[in-house]
Amino acid sequence: MKIFIDNGHGQFTAGKRSPDGEFREYYYNRIVARRITSKLKELGYDAELLVPEDDDISLTERCRRVNAWCLLHGKKNAICISIHFNAHGNGYEWTKASGWAIYTSKGNTAADELATAIAEAAKTNLPAMKMRADLSDGDIDFEEDFKILRGTLCACVLSENGFMTNEKECRWLQTEEALSAIAKTHVEGIVNYLASSGKEPTK
Contact yes or no for 87/98 (Cβ under 8 A): no
Domain spans in the chain, listed from the N-terminal domain onward:
2-196
- 146-194 pLDDT, tens per residue? 999 999 999 999 999 999 999 999 999 999 999 999 999 999 999 999 9
Which helix (H) or strand (E) is 80 found in, with range? strand 78-86
- CA–CA distance, 50 with 146 (Å, rounded to integer): 17
- 53-88 pLDDT, tens per residue? 988 999 999 999 999 999 999 999 999 999 999 999
Which helix (H) or strand (E) is 31 found in, with range? helix 25-42
CATH number assigned to the domain with residue range 2-196, chosen from the 4 options 3.40.630.10, 3.40.50.11720, 3.40.630.40, 1.20.1560.10: 3.40.630.40
- CA–CA distance, 141 with 105 (Å, rounded to integer): 9
